[in-house]
Amino acid sequence: MKPFIGILPSYTYEAKQIFLNKSYLDEIMASGAVPCVLPLTSDEETISEILSHIDGIIFSGGSDINPNYYGKEDTGKSKEINPLRDECEEIYIKIALKKDMPILGICRGMQALNVFCGGSLIEDIPSEYKIETIHNLEKPDIAFHKITVLPDTPLADIIGAGVHTVNSYHHQAVDSLAPYFSIAAVSEDGITESIFRNDKRFVLGVQWHPERDHIQAECNKIIIDRFVEICSSLKGE
């Protein structure tokens, strides 16, 4: 039986709708799993029940996390703050970690893992750091840059240690690292591009979007494929 992988979506207050880029669903299915879009609820009993029926969870990209969660004031640098998603995501992360489920955090999802486990963020890379690497461009343009994957990390096990090309859609990044997390990859300018936990079966965050741009970033599909394999191998445990 194929593994079932839950994905936490985004939410728009104006239309009162959840939404998720189709590429998440397409890539999960292409890798041999069944994607499930999860409800944005803060009820712990409901979340625990939901997670008992899936084999892994992806925290997707999206808008910025309220900086109050990591001890900073909201000065306007964080964009499109979404209180509902922040509240629900924090609980999903807490329960998923307690259940020791396979977890993949993508872009905002990696930042959420770090923040809701006790870390902090750089609120706006361009205004806070003088760096040459471009981490975000105005749509429809896409930024690409090099990262270095550190040896002896889960990411190195998946795509290999050394230099890789990734896409880049973010203006925020990990600042102080949450307890129990370690760095798996950095950009050319030293920005943290991937984090992981060794005390869990599989918890990996990547700052880029492995569910898209496979031609320019060849490592992307390998990450989704491997995550599905891990969810399948741990299914029912």
Q: What is the CATH number of the domain that holds 218?
A: 3.40.50.880
| 213 or 71, greater pLDDT | 71
3-state secondary structure at position 145: strand
Which pLDDT tens digit goes with each residue over 83-127?
Answer: 999 999 999 999 999 999 999 999 999 999 999 999 999 998 877
What's the structural domain count of the chain?
Answer: 1
Both tokens of 165, joined, read 């090309």
Cis peptide before 9 (omega within 30 of 0): no
pLDDT above 50 for 65? yes
The pLDDT of 187-212, averaged and rounded, is 94
Domain with 66, as residue range(s), is 4-233
| CB 155 within 8 Å of CB 148 | no
Q: What helix, strand, coil percent values describe the chain, rounded to 5?
A: 30, 25, 45
Which positions are annotated as active-site residues? 107, 209, 211
In this predicted model, which residue has the larger pLDDT, 131 or 185?
A: 185
User: Average per-residue pLDDT in the chain?
Assistant: 90
Q: Is the pLDDT of residue 136 over 60?
A: no
pTM of the predicted model over 0.85: yes
Q: How far is CA 84 from the centre of its chain?
A: 18
| H-type alpha helices, 31-183 | 44-51, 83-98, 108-115, 125-128, 154-159
| pLDDT cut 70: percent of the chain above it | 91
Instruction: Assess whether pLDDT exceeds 60 at residue 144.
Output: yes
